[in-house]
């Protein structure tokens, strides 16, 4: 009995020891697996449950005009979030928040869903204004809220001039993403380098600490060539004209004749950069660089320049203008005012389409095409703004039997207002092509390229001065100031055909014999009056009057011509 009992006891001890050993082995293996083999996986889960990394946007560089006036700046602001440790409490606090600040319905629904899911860090509203922060700060300090609402410092983009230069500046989204204009084209320089913020959560799921992993680095400041004061009254005059003629829109470019720096660039309709994400796409379009249209008679300056350079017409030679009606192949060309014969100069001064077609016929397609290219048409100017169009310029091989005639007075080609402004500036700058610049210190890829001789530039300037004093551009004239300019009126192309709507334009520079400023005006689809001399020329005059006083180009103006800003 005793021996059997001992054997059974040893057997039970062995079995218990075996089970104990296996239990110890399994626990050890599990600990080894968790702490060694799966260490990385489990630590990642722990970090995910206790840490959260938020991207911090850097301070974007400040944008100023040529005088140092601030156009865009990033200011430190507060961004509100919910530290959700109790769903019911968070929902109650969020309800109070909505009573203080207005949020969109979709935004409210999304936040409520995230609270109910138990998410611990939830943005409520980013980049509060000072007024918004003062409204909700007491709620964050309320003892009943128990730290449910808190704040993180972020930068908010502000545009102190409101709508001024909106199409030049563009704007940014809530996450500082560039949404147009200089903000987009120079985003890599303006945006700086972002930082990272670690949000630490304790065992009770409460946010207890913020830790900067990377400090943000501020972006580069940008100095534009525009003058905010000039930009203001250019935009005002353009808006007044668009309203007066119930037009679809318009654009004005003001350039320094000598170096091509853009002093003002306006597009209408405009918008507020701070609300760019709520702005319809058609309004965001910068008409100065992306509106394509047939230039009409303003393009005759290119024809005249090419004719003078190639010596195809004698100065006193008279050309047949067919009394206002001329047929080439199956197409008819007409003049508003019929003329039997006109000199080369008067064809430009009185803007005869038929006379221009006669000059084009003598010039020939190849020579004319070469001049058109020298003036910069068919390619972007290279200005530092996004969405600039190339324009449309077909090579002579693709021209029809009437293309040369119609190109002579600005049809069968599509241009942008900036391209036309640059073309007028060729004459204002002494006959050389200068690339337009909108960034101070921007260096052109190549130096000025001569397009026509100094002698021909002088003669063409005299012709354009006469076009204002006694031709189609009379309404652009200012007593005591010589202005060289040219009108343009063109049918718009819609669905592949010339429609009953028009584009009215006027380009010029002043003082004519010592050019300082080049201005180009285009009004899209004016109602009622539609000739460039009636619609665009008066806008040019109003702008020129203010520019010459502002820049002191003509300080001794007679009393009867006093101009008020």
Q: Please list the alpha-helical segments (H only) found in 292-377.
A: 300-310, 344-349, 353-363, 365-374
Domains of the chain: 51-76+149-224 (3.90.1310.10), 84-119+137-147 (no CATH), 228-561 (3.40.710.10)
Overall average pLDDT of the 406-419 stretch? 97
CA angle 339, 343, 345 (to 5 degrees): 110
Q: How far is CA 458 from CA 66, 408, 427, 485, 513, in A?
A: 31, 21, 8, 13, 8
Q: Which helix (H) or strand (E) holds 289?
A: helix 287-290
Helical pair 87-100 and 130-141, crossing angle rounded to 10 deg: 140
pLDDT at 209: 58
State how beta strands 222-223 and 318-320 pair. unpaired
pLDDT at 46: 47
Task: Indicate whether 42 pLDDT > 60.
Answer: no
Rounded Cα distance between 88 and 94, Å, is 10
Task: Indicate whether 536 pLDDT > 50.
Answer: yes
Rounded Cα distance between 159 and 74, Å, is 9
**Mean pLDDT over each residue of the chain, to the nearest integer:** 88
**pLDDT: is 47 or 177 the higher one?**
177
Task: Indicate whether 102 pLDDT > 90.
Answer: no
pTM of the predicted model as reported, rounded to 2 decimal places: 0.83
Task: Indicate whether 367 pLDDT > 60.
Answer: yes
Q: What confidence category does residue 359 fall into, taking pLDDT thresholds of 50, 70 and 90?
A: very high
pLDDT at 303: 98
Q: What confidence category does residue 563 fall into, taking pLDDT thresholds of 50, 70 and 90?
A: very low
**Distance between start and end Cα atoms, the chain:** 126
Query: How many Cβ atoms are within 10 Å of 36's Cβ, its own excluded?
Result: 8
Task: Indicate whether 370 pLDDT > 60.
Answer: yes
* Winning range, highest mean pLDDT, from 29-38, 226-235, 491-500: 226-235
> pLDDT exceeding 90 applies to what percent of the chain?
62
Q: What confidence category does residue 148 fall into, taking pLDDT thresholds of 50, 70 and 90?
A: confident
Tokens 């147009």 belong to residue: 180
Task: Indicate whether 14 pLDDT > 50.
Answer: yes
pLDDT at 555: 46
Rounded Cα distance between 172 and 477, Å, is 42
Task: Indicate whether 411 pLDDT > 50.
Answer: yes
Rounded Cα distance between 356 and 348, Å, is 8
Task: Indicate whether 518 pLDDT > 80.
Answer: yes
């Amino acid at each position: 009995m005793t021996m059997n009992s001992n054997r059974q006891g040893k057997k039970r001890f062995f079995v218990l020891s075996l089970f104990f050993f296996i239990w110890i082995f399994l626990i050890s293996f599990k600990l080894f697996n968790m702490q060694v083999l799966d260490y990385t996986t489990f630590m990642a889960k722990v970090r995910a449950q206790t840490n959260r990394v938020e991207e911090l946007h850097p301070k974007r560089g400040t944008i100023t005009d040529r005088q140092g006036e601030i156009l865009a700046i990033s200011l430190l602001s507060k961004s509100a979030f919910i530290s959700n440790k109790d769903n019911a409490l968070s929902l109650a606090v969020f309800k109070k928040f909505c009573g203080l600040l207005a949020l969109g319905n979709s935004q409210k629904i999304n936040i409520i869903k995230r609270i109910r899911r138990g998410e611990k860090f939830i943005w409520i509203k980013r980049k509060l204004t000072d007024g918004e922060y003062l409204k909700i700060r007491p709620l964050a300090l309320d003892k009943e809220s128990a730290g449910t609402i808190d704040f993180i410092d972020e930068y908010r983009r502000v545009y102190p001039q409101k709508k001024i230069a909106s199409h030049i500046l563009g704007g940014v989204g809530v996450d500082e993403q560039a949404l147009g204009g200089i903000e987009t084209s120079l985003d890599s320089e303006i945006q700086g380098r972002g930082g990272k913020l670690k949000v630490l959560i304790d065992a009770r799921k409460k946010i207890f600490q913020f830790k900067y992993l990377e400090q943000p680095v501020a972006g580069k400041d940008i100095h534009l060539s525009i003058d905010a004061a000039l930009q203001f009254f250019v935009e005002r005059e353009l808006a007044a004209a668009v309203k007066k003629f119930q037009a679809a829109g318009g654009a004005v470019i003001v350039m320094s004749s000598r170096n091509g720096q853009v002093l003002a660039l306006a597009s209408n309709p405009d918008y507020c950069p701070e609300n760019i994400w709520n702005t319809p796409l058609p309004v965001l379009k910068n008409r100065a660089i992306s509106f394509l249209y047939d230039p009409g008679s303003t393009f005759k300056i290119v024809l005249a320049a090419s004719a003078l350079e190639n010596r195809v017409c004698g100065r006193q030679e008279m050309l047949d203008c067919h009394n206002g009606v001329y047929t080439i192949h199956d197409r008819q060309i007409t003049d508003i005012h019929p003329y039997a014969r006109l000199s080369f100069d008067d064809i430009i001064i009185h803007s005869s389409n038929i006379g221009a077609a006669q000059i084009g016929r003598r010039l020939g397609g190849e020579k004319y095409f070469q001049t058109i290219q020298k003036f910069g048409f068919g390619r972007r100017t290279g200005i530092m703004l996004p969405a600039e169009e190339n324009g449309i310029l077909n090579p002579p091989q693709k021209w029809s039997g009437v293309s040369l005639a119609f190109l002579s007075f600005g049809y069968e080609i599509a241009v942008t207002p900036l391209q036309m402004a640059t073309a007028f500036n060729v004459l204002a700058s002494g006959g050389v092509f200068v690339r337009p610049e909108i960034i101070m210190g921007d260096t052109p890829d190549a130096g000025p390229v001569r397009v026509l001789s100094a002698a021909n530039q002088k003669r063409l300037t005299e012709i354009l001065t006469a076009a204002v004093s006694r031709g189609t551009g009379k309404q652009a004239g200012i007593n005591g100031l010589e202005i060289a300019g040219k009108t343009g009126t063109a049918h718009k192309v819609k669905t592949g055909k010339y429609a009953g709507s028009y584009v009215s334009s006027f380009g010029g520079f002043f003082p004519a014999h010592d050019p300082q400023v080049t201005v180009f005006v285009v009004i899209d689809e004016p109602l009622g009056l539609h000739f460039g001399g009636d619609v665009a020329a008066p806008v040019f005059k109003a702008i020129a009057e203010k520019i010459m006083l502002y820049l002191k180009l003509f300080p001794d103006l007679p009393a009867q011509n006093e101009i008020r800003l």
